Structures are given as structure tokens and as C-alpha cells.
Structure 1
Amino acid sequence: MSGNNLQGPIPSEFGDLKNLISMDLYNNDISGHLPSTLGNLKSLRFLRIDQNRLTGPIPRELSGLPNLESVDFSSNDLCGTIPASGPFENVPLSSFSNNPRLKQGPGAYDARC
């Protein structure tokens, strides 16, 4: 569904797609916060939502996705702290680039923004 000029928020109901392996929503006009229900997607391996207008923090629930191998959150307006646990331990910083209000840092995860 990439590059289709999709608009509006990601529906929280996407979290009900329990067998979803890949979510490719990059290069659209998606806005709003990432729903925490995406943390229910235990089969998800690839999450690419770069080049949109997403705001807010990266939900802590995404740190609990056991099969997540590849993510790209770049070129949005996300904020807070980059998660550093679970599948995010080995994600390159380039996957979070061009989010001026998103920061990396030691210490606890910070979802305030």
C-alpha cells in the first residue's frame, strides 16, 4: 500500500491483523499517532512507515514484537525517545532519521512529547 497517497491515521483495528507479516505504508500522507494496538502484531517481521506525517511517540508496545526484523520510521515527525529494547536493539539509527523531535539516549524510554 506504499506510494498511494493514503491519508488520515493508521486505524487501531490494524492491530487485529494477527497474522500480518509485513506492513508497508511508506511514502503516503498518513498522519496522527502510531496506534499502540500495532503491538498485537506478534507475527510482524517488517514495518515500513517512513515518508509520512506521523506524530507522537513510538509506542512502547512495539518493543514486544518478537519477530520484528526490519523497521523504518524515517521522515516523519515522531518525538520522544527511540526504544532501545527488544527488536529495536539492533536497528540502525538511519531507520529513525529525519524526525527532528525523536532522540536517542541512554536511560528509560520516554514517550512524552
Structure 2
Amino acid sequence: MSQIFVLSLIFLTIVTGGGCNSEGDALNAFKTNVIDPNNALISWDPTLVNPCTYAHITCNTHNSVSRVDLGEMGLSGTIVPELGQLVNLQYLELYGNNLTGHIPPQLGNLTNLVSLDLYQNRLVGLIPATLGNLRSLRFLRLDNNNLTGKIPREVLKLVTLGKLEIIVNISSNHLAGTGNRGTYSQICVNKCATFFRVYQ
């Protein structure tokens, strides 16, 4: 009898406790990898079951994270791959900080994403081809970073999907080209005064 009681308690802890809260775990992985001089993340308590109470976080009607609004918060550090676990996320706003490192390919798991704003940081490396999985995406702004390489064809193909045109803003980086010719996309290059057609 006592063994059944103990097992029941263990099961209850697993169901209601922290281990199953993947969204909270993902957000707190980000928190532990950044320096937050303005205490924007001070309310992000890893002991809370529901991250919907965190500042700068919005949840949908199912209590799943739909927005992360951390633009211009003075954050420095890296974008952790765990953010790719926020599968119902629609807006990821990390612009205007001092974030460094690479854009995690795992962000390509965020298939409900409408807006990905990483501009005005110090990100380096390639634009992940996995961002081409974001078929709900309407706004992709990566300008004013230190990105290199080619714009993946998978990313440019997003413009042909759906009824709305994606705005791909990648100016003020060090990108070398866009691959083989094919269907054109509207893409912001140079100083973004206008939008130019660039072939894949």
C-alpha cells in the first residue's frame, strides 16, 4: 500500500511539476544564457508551472506561449536552440539588443511563426536553411548584424507561399549572394531604401 502511495506521489509530481513544462524550460534556458542589466527577465521564475505570468510573454487561449517581446532590452548573450521548443510561438522579437553567436537552426521548428525580428544585434554566421520551414512567416528582419554566406533558397521560397508577401530584410550584413536563379523574392538589400527583386 505504501509503495502505491509513493508511486502516486511521484506520478503527481511529474504531471504537475517542472519536468513537463517544456516552454518554461526553454525560456529559462534563454534567461540563463543572457546578461540582463535592466532586469527585464526578473519575473521569469523557473519554479512557476506556467510561464504565461512572465513579463514580456504573451500566451494564447490554451496557455501556450505565442509572443516573446524582448526588443531593445539591453540583453547580451546568445539565442539558445531551446527556443525552438516554443511550437505555438507567433512572434519572436529580440531586435535591438547585443545578442551574439549564430541563429539556431532549431528556430525552423517554429512553424506558426508570423514575425521573426532579430535585427540590430551582433549575430554572425549563416542564415539557417531551416528558416524555410516557417511557412506562416510574413516578416523576417535580420538587418544590421554580421551575417555571412548566401541567402538560402529555402528562405527565398517563402515568398511564393500563401496570399501575403514576405518581407525579407537582410541589409547591412555581409551576404554573398542568393544561389541559383529561379523564382524571385522581394528582399531588402543595401540600405533598405527600396525593395529589389533578387533571384534565388
1:20-59 CA-to-partner distances (Å, cap 9, x unmatched) read 0000000000000000000000000000000000000000
- Determine whether 1:57 maps to 2:150: yes
Conserved 8 A contact 2:119-2:144: yes
Aligned to 2:121: 28
* In 2: Cα distance, 1:6 partner to 1:78 partner: 19
SS at match of 1:6: strand
Number of the residue aligned with 1:85: 183
Following TM superposition, by how much is the alpha carbon of 1:80 offset from its aligned partner in structure 2, in angstroms?
1.9
Q: Which residue of 2 aligns with 1:75?
A: 172
- Computing the radius of gyration over CA atoms, which structure comes out larger, 1 or 2? 2
Deviation digits for residues 45-86 of structure 1, max 9, x if unmatched?
000000000000000001221144212110000002477625
Q: CA separation in 1, counterparts of 2:156 and 2:95?
A: 24
TM-score (norm 1): 0.76
- Whichever residue aligns with residue 183 of structure 2, its letter is S
Q: Which structure has more helix as a fraction of its residues?
A: 2
Partner of 2:138: 45
Per the normalisation by structure 2, the TM-score is: 0.44
Q: In structure 1, how many angstroms separate the alpha carbons of the residues matched to 2:156 and 2:167?
A: 12
Q: Read off the aligned partner of 1:69 and give its amino acid letter.
A: I
Amino acid at match of 1:76: N
Structure 1: 4+ residue segments shifted above 3 A: 81-84
Q: SS where residue 71 of structure 1 aligns?
A: strand
Greater RCO (Cα-Cα under 8 Å, separation 6 or more): 1
In the alignment, residue 80 of structure 1 is paired with which amino acid? G
Distance 1:9 1:96, change over 3 A: same
Work out the percentage of aligned pairs sharing the same amino acid: 47
Structure 1 unaligned residues grouped into runs of 5+: 99-103
The counterpart of 1:5, out of the listed 87, 98, 117, is 98
Gaps of at least 5 residues in structure 2 are 1-93, 192-196
Q: Provide the aligned C-alpha RMSD in A.
A: 2.3
**For the Cα contact (< 8 Å) 2:127–2:147, is it kept in 1?**
yes
